[in-house]
Structure 1
Amino acid sequence: MNAQHKLLWVFGGIIALLALASLVGWVLQQRKGRTEVVANLNARVRAWWGMVAVLAVCFWLGPVANLVVFAFISFFALREFITLTPTRPGDHLPLVVAFYVLIPVQYWLIGDHWYGLFAIFIPVYAFLALPALAVLGGDTSDFLERTTKIQWGVMIAIYCISHAPALLILELRGYEGQGPLLLLYLMLVVQISDVMQYVFGKLFGKRKLAPTVSPSKTVEGLVGGGLAAVAIGTALWWITPFTPLQSTLMSALIVVCGVFGGLALSAVKRSLGAKDWGHMIEGHGGMMDRMDSVVFAAPIFFHITRYFFSG
């Protein structure tokens, strides 16, 4: 079975699951009325229809479309991060560079298959350039705090997220030209983990996982949702270069990294006095709310896959 046929099978399964979820949401609304939980569930399902449609179009159009979409994801995620972290006039130059130089260059490097520079461009060159540019503004008030916020935003919104589409350029043994499947695998396991943790938490959640950081996350949700995501990731081994056992371990790694990513960025939100990063996606908050798990999972998954499975 070639890559295109595998994509069709996977997207067919996703559409069937979304259709089932839509039906369940409609039945719940008819029986229980428009409660907060039911309304939130239906909003999430509608948002998922839109996100899956965008993802399907990107895979159909090819790698360039994926890079463009993820570049916009990085742009909106960085905008949300900077919006919640107040800046001063002295930060305008590094911010302009972050949005209009770092994002296009980082994604161009992926499209050019320039792994060596892609891997160090932001953590080395941008890391040093941003405070150097901020110095030119002549504003020393809270300089360390302001610079650190911008560096953090660039790292998570651009560098970390860009590792997801970077899976398209991996050349793996016996898996040439199937990078889109690896990207789809990562996104599915990450997002299914988030969804199932939400569902298990609502159904069975009693013990709070980290009440001061993320009040809605529960131990039961983490265990149930995590195991469900690992099971689905294992079942999808046939679209990856992994054996079933390796797929189990890799999906477990993605789940664990995603959980820590979600908690870490929730802690950042709490420290800033915000519930959500934004309101861009109905039922999901902002772009960063949807990508917080990807932020930690994508780089780890990319580099482990490249180290152990590249030719």
Structure 2
Amino acid sequence: MSLPTQATLLFAGVGGVLVVATAIGWSLKRRVAAAGPHAAIDNLNARIHAWWVMVGVLAVAFWLGAWGVIGLFALLSAVALREYTRVSAMPPERIVQVLAYAVALPMQYLLIGIDWYGLYSIFIPVYAFLVLPITAALLGDGTRFLERAAKTQWGLMICVFCISHVPALMLLDIPGFEGRNLLLIAYLVLVVQASDVLQYVWGKLAGRHPVAPRLSPSKTVEGAVGGILSATALGAALHGVTPFTPAEAAALSFAVCLMGFLGGLVMSAIKRDAGAKDWGSLIEGHGGVLDRLDSVAFAAPVYFHLVRYWWTP
């Protein structure tokens, strides 16, 4: 099956789910809350609307090809880094932020675009980690220096380095899967985002025991287990659009869903420390871009390296 056919079927399937969800949300609004606002139903409909937009943007990027996907995720990284900067109160040194936004971010995605794995795999964790604190030190301000340097470096790691591993999946040379690497991206995003949604659903249905009540009271053991296992089953069922067997797809899905859950917990801890509920408000019903990409950011590098190690020559 060719990439256009597989991609079309995949997006058609997602679109079908969204059509059903839209109909359910509209029906609930009409029957239960026609007279006025209803927090839960209005939030549900806002989330469904946002999903239509997000799926549409991803579909357009796929249609534009490799550089369209790279450009999309570079833009998402820039927005995510801006949200992180605002919430975490990154250091005010103008030159450091210019280096982060205008040099490190575009350079990371350029290196991916030209397929220079030896450099894009270490550019931020080595060279940016050395250059940025050196630059800050040359400015001569030692006030809370370690904290300021760590915030900058952590922002680049999560918002740029980790997220950039999503488009980097296009560069993997998998025998028998040539020309279909965009499906690896669709698979990752779909499984991890489905895990987030299913954790929310299971948490509402059966959640009793918070995982970390001081960090994120809404994350429960029952929600995490139910959501991760359900998304793992979904990933196994979708193995046909990947180079993986059902068992391999299940194992990879479990790994990325677990990393996504743990990543969400880490990002909740950062927000809690900063006194913020969401990273932003760009996506109606979902918060900011980083609220939607936090689990993908933690899952993407693990997924990329597992696939690169086990499925490429």
Normalised by the size of structure 1, how large is the TM-score?
Answer: 0.97
Letter in structure 1 aligned against 2:39:
E
**Residue 31 of structure 2 corresponds to residue 31 of structure 1:** yes
Aligned to 1:6: 6
User: Which one of 48, 69, 73 corresponds to residue 70 of structure 1?
Assistant: 73
Distance 1:278 1:8 in 2: 31
1:219 is aligned with what amino acid? V
Equivalent position to 2:45, from 42, 47, 53: 42
Provide the residue aligned with 1:293 in structure 2.
295
CA RMSD of aligned residues (A): 1.1
1:18 partnered with 2:21: no
Change (3 A) 1:137 1:57: same
State the alpha-carbon separation in 1 of the partners of residues 54 and 259 from structure 2.
22
Q: 2:183 pairs with 161, 181, 184, which one?
A: 181
Q: CA deviation at 1:87?
A: 4.1
Alignment of 1:144 with 2:146, yes or no, is yes
Q: d(CA) in 2 for partners of 1:98 and 1:164? A: 20
1:54-82 per-position Cα deviation (integer Å, ceiling 9, x unaligned): 00001011010111110011001111111
Instruction: Report the CA distance shift for 1:106/1:238 in structure 2 as closer, same or farther (over 3 A).
Output: same
Counterpart in 1 of 2:123?
121
Q: Deviations over 1:130-180 (max 9, x none)?
A: 101111222111011001100000010000000011101111121112110
1:32 Cα offset (Å): 2.4
Q: Does 1:85 align with 2:84?
A: no
- 2 CA distance for matches of 1:204 and 1:59? 37
* Aligned mates of 1:161, 1:28 — CA distance in 2: 36
Q: Could you report, residue by residue, the CA deviation over 1:253-273 in whole angstroms, capped at 9, with x for unpaired residues?
A: 111000000000100110111
Match of 2:161 among 159, 176, 201: 159
Where do 4+ consecutive residues of structure 1 move more than 4 Å?
none
Deviations 1:5-59 (A, max 9, x none): 1101101100000000111111222232142221111111000000000000010
The residue type paired with residue 57 of structure 2 is V
Kept in 2: contact 1:171–1:177 (CA 8 A): no
**Contact 1:157–1:295 (Cα < 8 Å) also in 2:** yes
Q: Give % identity.
A: 52
* 1:47-58 alignment, distance < 5 Å: 47-58=50-61
Tell me by how many angstroms 1:293 deviates: 0.1
What are the ranges of 5 or more consecutive residues in structure 1 without an aligned counterpart?
none
- Matched to 1:20, the amino acid is V
- The DSSP-based 3-state class of the residue aligned with 1:176 is coil
How far 1:208 moved relative to its partner?
Answer: 1.6
Out of 99, 105, 111, the residue aligned to residue 103 of structure 1 is 105
Give the aligned partner of residue 249 of structure 1.
251
Aligned residues: 310
Q: State the distance in 1 between where 2:65 and 2:248 align.
A: 27
| Matched residue, 2:133 | 131
Q: 2:173 aligns with which of 171, 174, 178?
A: 171
The question of whether the paired residues in 1 share the 8 Å contact of 2:91 and 2:152 is answered with no
Q: What is the TM-score with the length of structure 2 in the denominator?
A: 0.97
State the Cα distance separating 1:209 from its structure 2 match.
2.1
Aligned counterpart in structure 2 of residue 225 of structure 1, from 224, 227, 234: 227
CA contact (8 A) 2:90 2:151 kept: no
Structure 2 distance, partners of 1:38, 1:184, is 28
Q: Secondary structure at the match of 2:211?
A: strand
- Alpha-carbon deviation of 1:88? 4.5
Distance 1:106 1:138 in 2: 28
Task: Report the AA paired with residue 247 of structure 1.
Answer: A
